[in-house]
Structure 1
């Protein structure tokens, strides 16, 4: 120990810990090494007898480990080797083998490192002893022929278990019933006294079969949890809180398996616990399945299939067993060609021969290469498919939905519909509304047909299959309805276009004579001197202007409905345009007042913010129409005997210019306020309801907005506002 510079590695048997901790020379030697900055690694056998000495030794070394069956001992430092074969408790060594030869030291170091790797930390070993855990880990094959496997051995393993999880055959459960009946007793009799025993938690997994229903019921009556596996397990095993046993043999009646794997190694135990939990989660409660088994009904399941070859085999098998109906969805024309190439339609034709089976196939894509007779012949590989269109009299229509029979089979209908609204990304087949497969298509350039099939979900659940069938029927019916809607939309577009053309013609025919009437009326007004005649001419002129505005609104509405959105634009000052229009109205009412025209209105205009320059990029004529329309509405709703006031306010808000036009007239009727800017929204004889509709369309085309509201209840009139983006 005095020659140790940086490390000392030492091993000794279960007697040695008392020597080190009770003889001062050893204690001081160990302490000196640590004080010099050295390390001490120690291996010994920790037992229930020396555990207290080992706890003290644990404080004296850098690291302490346990190894079962340790005999004698060796000690090494950087340059010396020492060994002994006999160690006596609490007594110093009397005989040792010593060497400082490099080869001997190296060999001794190799032996130590090997032992070190196989030893376990002292903390773990001490905890096992104090908690009463098994420390001798065994993994071996128990054999019936060699005598190491028998019912007594199995009973000993399971008797003290606190929990048992088991995957068993029916024969295994039958053989172990009496044992588990005893295990589930809450009390047992011992020397005339009834002793309450700790209950063992037992879970059992078994393959679903009608043959084992009665046996499973007996286990459930014992309070044991039993669940059914949908397939026969590849291995039978039992795992407890500390042991596991496994075999690949299926037990014969009343006989144990020939051999099984046994281990109490925690690694094996934890691994088999994990396997059991996965199987348990994938299983179904026995009490839910027993009723189905007794009625000879299939157990519903959902299975994910990743092998495309198996998917095709399943589809063919389901079609061959169909009795009433086959429903299928093919998501693209290319997928249809692949199905033809695989002989799937030929298989459908052969499978349905002699059966009254209804087959519906929906292809959510356009069928190509249709000839003038409504017949499509598709050849792919060695297969040839002839599609004859139903209702061939409609084949030249703009129909996007097509129905075909296949190879003259009237009970087989293929429907093609081409619409982005109904393009499911998955293929599907439903048979007799009780089995279904949903297939994920794969995008690939491969010529291998199977490469285009991705994952599939297969289920024999009637509820799931009926749900899929309902979805299919909805798509099937929707495809036809979609075609009718498309036709209706086309007819409405044609009708709307014809209506707008008619209105346009009528409006133009009205405009020409109106202009003559208005012009001649002005001439007569200027020439006549009779007051009565002049009053009549003023009335004619006012109504003529009103009719002219209506014609202009109709023409504007027709153009706007025609989506003339690319209107010419220019940059101008909106404040200046407002001022020009308001000045014209001021002049108009000033002339009326000077002429003392009877039944005329007295209107005054107030302008605010017109000194601000508000440059916009817009259609100047359209903006004039919006402003004029709002002003005309304001004038119309001011009563004759009332002094009218119209206030126009211009302001800027962020990147927009906002114009408010406020009047003191009758206001907007509440009934039409919410639909004020819709077509023909009118509640009086003052207008057609087209003007404000045109205003809204114009403002939207300029990326602006328009709105209106009644003034506060203590004030008369309404306020119309519109917003327009400023030029950037």
Structure 2
């Protein structure tokens, strides 16, 4: 049977022969479009630099903007080759005790079968483009990468005899915390900060001079600068953010800030769950120089930064009174019901509600919602409700639930039962809306019947739902007028028939 060709879909092969191995590696590099992650023991960097075909393959991939990450064990023996690799790959890291070799791209996996033979080309190589194998090896690489240290740090250890001692600990002594923060700032080459308003106040009160020094170094090209993500939501916050922007910080606003304040440099990370309200000094702080923690928090920061809004744009929106639209998916039924209740409490002039079914309406009334409805009516809020039900069915349930006893009139109308759905709509003041899924209206407990909910403070979205409501409401008016006309017509026919039978 003929062997499958290299590059065929879902294939795993063992290729033999040094020339074939080199050809496979060059082909691997040339096909890659996004990234190549390389994991090699300490004997391989000399070949990556010294073997012309492999070196050219790296340089060609770099020229095509392929992201290159290289993980190896940097030793005194391969130090010069690793220094040269630093100028070729995007990032080089060191990990003690590496055994084995492999390369992985977005779609392929390559394993040269050789251990520690210096200067020798692998006699065999395993190739695979099976998706599950590629994804599994990518996961392995990423975990190894996160446990590695930067090449520059390892080179410094070798050349200066400085061994970095990794530690993670919680500081509680105030003097030690202040000293560690100052050292952290002074020794940083980059600073990433995620903090609430209290943390920013603390930084401004205690460490603003050091921050300005870092910004000055950044302007001279000696530091990568300070990036900050925070939530800007009040006038006091705006004034402080303006000061920080003027000082030279890059700042973005995020909607949902994590519950932990943290800072990351290229060497260390600090974190605390304290609010630091009014700039109060931190009582406890977690510090770590372990790469796995630094890289983890850096990843969180970069995700927040990507999703954030430029602070200047947010400030302009606040000062101009522009409320940014928010769409929030609520998965917890308790939170969904609480959001519904709070919207009724906050209503100032109008509530529009379409129930998904009459059963859902009954469950909601039995859960006690009409206490909130009654309070809204007392405030002069106009409340209109549409329910998919027959008119006699609706009248019966209104009487059963004694809704006519409410001190103010609530407008409830029926719509065609064919409009019954699993989705209910609430529109408040035509500025806010809440969509609630009804999972099972056969339950006796309303909480058990509630599914997902979607909240929005977008005026266009609320207006659109209000338009749907008004169309249905107008349809019920026309239907009621038609019913009156039918009754009048029927009465006329009956009178006419009577006159014909018994003329004067």
User: For residue 365 of structure 1, what is the aligned residue in structure 2?
Assistant: 389
> Post-superposition shift, 1:265?
1.7
- Equivalent of residue 323 in structure 1, options 348, 360, 368: 348
Cα distance between partner residues in 2 of 1:425 and 1:135: 64
2:363–2:445: 8 Å Cα contact kept in structure 1? no
1:179 aligns with 2:179: no
User: For residue 457 of structure 1, what is the aligned residue in structure 2?
Assistant: 454
2:262–2:272: 8 Å Cα contact kept in structure 1? yes
User: For residue 81 of structure 1, what is the aligned residue in structure 2?
Assistant: none
1:165–1:202: 8 Å Cα contact kept in structure 2? yes
User: For residue 294 of structure 2, what is the aligned residue in structure 1?
Assistant: 269
Using structure 2 for the length normalisation, give the TM-score.
0.58
Q: How does 1:89-238 map to 2 (within 5 A)?
A: 127=151, 132=156, 136=164, 138-141=166-169, 143=171, 145=173, 147-151=175-179, 153-157=181-185, 159-168=187-196, 169-175=199-205, 176-185=207-216, 196-200=221-225, 202-206=227-231, 208-230=233-255, 233-238=258-263
1:320–1:352: 8 Å Cα contact kept in structure 2? no
CA 1:179–1:417 in 2, change beyond 3 Å: closer, same or farther?
same
CA 1:429–1:164 in 2, change beyond 3 Å: closer, same or farther?
same
CA 1:145–1:340 in 2, change beyond 3 Å: closer, same or farther?
closer
User: For residue 437 of structure 1, what is the aligned residue in structure 2?
Assistant: 434
> Post-superposition shift, 1:305?
1.7
RMSD: 4.2
Using structure 1 for the length normalisation, give the TM-score.
0.42
Q: How does 1:501-650 map to 2 (within 5 A)?
A: none
Cα distance between partner residues in 2 of 1:125 and 1:143: 24
User: For residue 539 of structure 1, what is the aligned residue in structure 2?
Assistant: none
> Post-superposition shift, 1:304?
2.0
Cα distance between partner residues in 2 of 1:316 and 1:253: 32
Paired residues in the alignment total: 350
CA 1:308–1:152 in 2, change beyond 3 Å: closer, same or farther?
closer
1:315–1:437: 8 Å Cα contact kept in structure 2? yes
Cα distance between partner residues in 1 of 2:309 and 2:81: 51
Query: Normalized per residue, which structure has more helix?
Result: 2
Ranges in structure 2 where 5+ consecutive residues have no aligned partner: 1-72, 83-93, 98-143, 486-504
Cα distance between partner residues in 1 of 2:399 and 2:311: 52
CA 1:138–1:208 in 2, change beyond 3 Å: closer, same or farther?
farther
**1:455 counterpart SS class:** strand
CA 1:473–1:218 in 2, change beyond 3 Å: closer, same or farther?
same
**1:184 counterpart SS class:** helix
Cα distance between partner residues in 2 of 1:53 and 1:198: 26
User: For residue 467 of structure 1, what is the aligned residue in structure 2?
Assistant: 464
C-alpha offsets along residues 325-363 of structure 1, whole Å, 9 cap, x if unaligned?
Answer: 11101011111111221122343123312x332111011
Cα distance between partner residues in 2 of 1:211 and 1:250: 16
> Post-superposition shift, 1:297?
7.3
- Equivalent of residue 302 in structure 1, options 327, 334, 352: 327
User: For residue 389 of structure 1, what is the aligned residue in structure 2?
Assistant: none
User: For residue 413 of structure 1, what is the aligned residue in structure 2?
Assistant: 411
1:385 aligns with 2:402: yes
**1:148 counterpart SS class:** helix
Cα distance between partner residues in 1 of 2:252 and 2:169: 28
User: For residue 258 of structure 1, what is the aligned residue in structure 2?
Assistant: 283
C-alpha offsets along residues 72-116 of structure 1, whole Å, 9 cap, x if unaligned?
Answer: xxxxxxxxxxxxxxxxxxxxxxxxxxxxxxxxxxxxxxxxxxxxx
Q: How does 1:51-70 map to 2 (within 5 A)?
A: 66=96
Query: Which shows bigger deviation, 243-252 or 200-209?
Result: 200-209
CA 1:47–1:449 in 2, change beyond 3 Å: closer, same or farther?
closer
**1:428 counterpart SS class:** strand
2:185–2:211: 8 Å Cα contact kept in structure 1? no
Ranges in structure 1 where 5+ consecutive residues have no aligned partner: 1-45, 56-63, 68-119, 189-194, 387-405, 489-728
2:171–2:287: 8 Å Cα contact kept in structure 1? no
> Post-superposition shift, 1:482?
6.8
**2:444 counterpart SS class:** coil
C-alpha offsets along residues 229-266 of structure 1, whole Å, 9 cap, x if unaligned?
Answer: 44664211012344211012233666642331111222
2:212–2:247: 8 Å Cα contact kept in structure 1? yes
> Post-superposition shift, 1:211?
1.5
**2:177 counterpart SS class:** coil
CA 1:267–1:478 in 2, change beyond 3 Å: closer, same or farther?
farther
**2:240 counterpart SS class:** helix
2:230–2:253: 8 Å Cα contact kept in structure 1? yes
2:218–2:225: 8 Å Cα contact kept in structure 1? no
- Which one has more relative contact order, counting CA pairs under 8 Å at least 6 apart? 2
**2:435 counterpart SS class:** strand
Cα distance between partner residues in 1 of 2:218 and 2:332: 53
CA 1:409–1:277 in 2, change beyond 3 Å: closer, same or farther?
farther
Query: Normalized per residue, which structure has more strand?
Result: 1
2:358–2:387: 8 Å Cα contact kept in structure 1? yes
Q: How does 1:282-297 map to 2 (within 5 A)?
A: 283-294=308-319
Cα distance between partner residues in 1 of 2:171 and 2:284: 4
Cα distance between partner residues in 2 of 1:137 and 1:471: 65
CA 1:306–1:323 in 2, change beyond 3 Å: closer, same or farther?
same
CA 1:473–1:285 in 2, change beyond 3 Å: closer, same or farther?
farther
Cα distance between partner residues in 2 of 1:277 and 1:434: 33
CA 1:486–1:238 in 2, change beyond 3 Å: closer, same or farther?
farther
C-alpha offsets along residues 265-315 of structure 1, whole Å, 9 cap, x if unaligned?
Answer: 221122212333454456544333324544777664332222222322222
Cα distance between partner residues in 2 of 1:375 and 1:126: 75
1:322–1:357: 8 Å Cα contact kept in structure 2? yes
**2:402 counterpart SS class:** strand
Query: Which shows bigger deviation, 212-221 or 305-314?
Result: 305-314
2:185–2:210: 8 Å Cα contact kept in structure 1? no
Q: Which has the larger radius of gyration?
A: 1
Query: Which shows bigger deviation, 141-150 or 476-485?
Result: 476-485
CA 1:282–1:305 in 2, change beyond 3 Å: closer, same or farther?
farther
CA 1:426–1:173 in 2, change beyond 3 Å: closer, same or farther?
farther
